[in-house]
Structure 1
Amino acid sequence: MFRTLLFLCLVKYASALIQRINSGFAVKWTGFDGRVVSEPLMFEISNIYSRIQCVVLCLQNEACVSVFYRRQHRRCQLHDVLFMSPEDGEREAGAVYYSLTAGDCPLEYVHKRLLNFCYQLRLIIARRDGGLADCTSRGEHFVVIDSEDKQNHIVKQIKSSSGALKRNYFFDGSDAANEGKWILHDGRPMTYFAWAPGYPTNDTDGKDYITAHGGDMTYRWHDRRGRERKWYVCQKDLWIN
């Protein structure tokens, strides 16, 4: 489904850029061939004569997560989210789509380089233990949302594709050990919260885990039981250069 372009091969085209960034990859999402998703849009650049030039422009901009190259119009559209649902796009002959990643973030993951944040929406419904086992099988954990920037970004990411909408997601965070004392998977106390009005309930009946509630499209947090079945988000920790 995917073809990978390794930017280390583009030395002649962008040698100065390669010296600045150790590695960078563009993953071509062939399911979007001939389709363009225009919103949300960071910005569009005209008079771009190749898809390679378009992708390098995205790599140069750390806010950029993905690009559409519109060959017919010679336009490069930069986005700060990763689209996952080709049916959300409009038909346009010759359009191609790439996601960007660098360093240790795996292909097909969202890489928010500005936040050093690498994660994958898992559109699979599971109880908390099952979802966590899936994440840990790859050396990952549930996504840690420890700032307003990360909360805002992941909400925008979820809303960018119809296949991810109106779902409830397990995030990292639990007060199972001590009611009302919320900690992350590594034992650190939580300092940022995005609770929905009326939450947390501080219910002693097992509502010990954080979920992002998608029913009202706000993805504010609820405290829920681990035996409930939700979608979830896995995060891969990256080394900080």
Structure 2
Amino acid sequence: MVSRLIILCFVSYATALINAGFGSKLSQFDDIIMSISVLSHVSNVSSGTQCVILCLQTNACVSVFYRRQHRRCQFHDVLFMSPEDGEQETGTEYYSLKTDGCPPGYVQNRLLNFCYQLHLNKINHNNGLADCTSRGEHLVVIDTEDKQNHIVKQITSSSASQRFSYYIDGSDADTEGQWLLHDGRPMTYFAWSPGFPENKTPNFDVITASKIIPEYIFTWQDRSPVEKKYYICQKDL
């Protein structure tokens, strides 16, 4: 009787974790499994909600597959966006982790205290910035090599997100060659593509992360804000 109560309490607690917002089940990935960006596996797990609890205990974990037939969690450090990229496997469930106010559908890297969302519609810089601002956000700040590497890994993890260029935070509109973030801080980290910044005209004063050639995947270019690109919004936690 006691053991049964313990099991019921655990199930209630695990369900509460999901309902409270620590994990979002992505049903479009049911019966799908991904074989890339795998952090680790844990066996003898009774449910997807327990997988979410274990993901919470793994700081690098961004999302998790529960493989019901194997009673196994498969942890990932990216959020997948394209079910068609996966392989069929009956009985899988997929959850994204969301904590500390990072909304569903956003990528949360807890190691970098980083919450952001890729937007796969092409618009100009001002409209992309306005969309981010409408939710109290800003274009994504990439101010370390670790963040740059993570963004590249996230973008390249799903075919849906492997678009050509994304607007990110940074501008030299006030003074040519002096790059500032949205809050006025001078930029100290750059991941320019070879030959950039071009500084061809005063209008090339915003930054895109662009896929030029395989050796330079989503390195940076200075571009005109009137060009239509994809964009990435960041929510501060």
Q: Calculate the TM-score normalised by the size of structure 1.
A: 0.88
Task: Tell me the equivalent position of 1:237.
Answer: 236
Query: One-letter code of the match for 1:145?
Result: I
Deviates more, 1:131-140 or 1:199-208: 199-208
Q: Are 1:216 and 2:206 an aligned pair?
A: no
For residue 186 of structure 1, the aligned residue among 183, 186, 190 is: 183
Q: Percent identity?
A: 60
Q: Are 1:82 and 2:95 an aligned pair?
A: no
Task: Tell me the equivalent position of 1:35.
Answer: 32
CA positional deviation for 1:205: 4.1
CA positional deviation for 1:167: 2.0
Match of 1:177, SS state, is coil
Separation in structure 2 between the aligned mates of residue 117 and residue 203 of structure 1, nearest angstrom: 33
CA positional deviation for 1:24: 5.4
Separation in structure 1 between the aligned mates of residue 113 and residue 8 of structure 2, nearest angstrom: 25
Structure 2's unaligned 5+ residue stretches are 1-6, 15-19
Structure 1's unaligned 5+ residue stretches are 1-9, 18-22
| Larger radius of gyration between Structure 1 and Structure 2 | 2
Query: One-letter code of the match for 1:183?
Result: L
CA positional deviation for 1:203: 1.9
1:119-138 aligned at under 5 Å gives the runs: 119-138=116-135
Q: Calculate the TM-score normalised by the size of structure 2.
A: 0.90
Match of 1:132, SS state, is helix
Q: Are 1:170 and 2:167 an aligned pair?
A: yes
List 4+ stretches of structure 1 deviating above 4 A. Answer: none
Tell me how large the CA RMSD over aligned residues is: 2.0
Task: Tell me the equivalent position of 1:3.
Answer: none
Task: Tell me the equivalent position of 1:5.
Answer: none
Query: One-letter code of the match for 1:75?
Result: R
Separation in structure 2 between the aligned mates of residue 236 and residue 14 of structure 1, nearest angstrom: 31
How big is each residue's C-alpha offset from its partner over 1:76-102, in whole Å with a ceiling of 9 and x where there is no partner?
100000001010111111100000011
CA positional deviation for 1:184: 0.4
Does the CA contact (< 8 Å) of 1:168 and 1:211 recur in 2? yes
Separation in structure 1 between the aligned mates of residue 199 and residue 60 of structure 2, nearest angstrom: 37
Query: One-letter code of the match for 2:236?
Result: D
Query: One-letter code of the match for 2:230?
Result: W
Separation in structure 2 between the aligned mates of residue 27 and residue 113 of structure 1, nearest angstrom: 16
Query: One-letter code of the match for 1:29?
Result: L
Query: One-letter code of the match for 2:231?
Result: Y
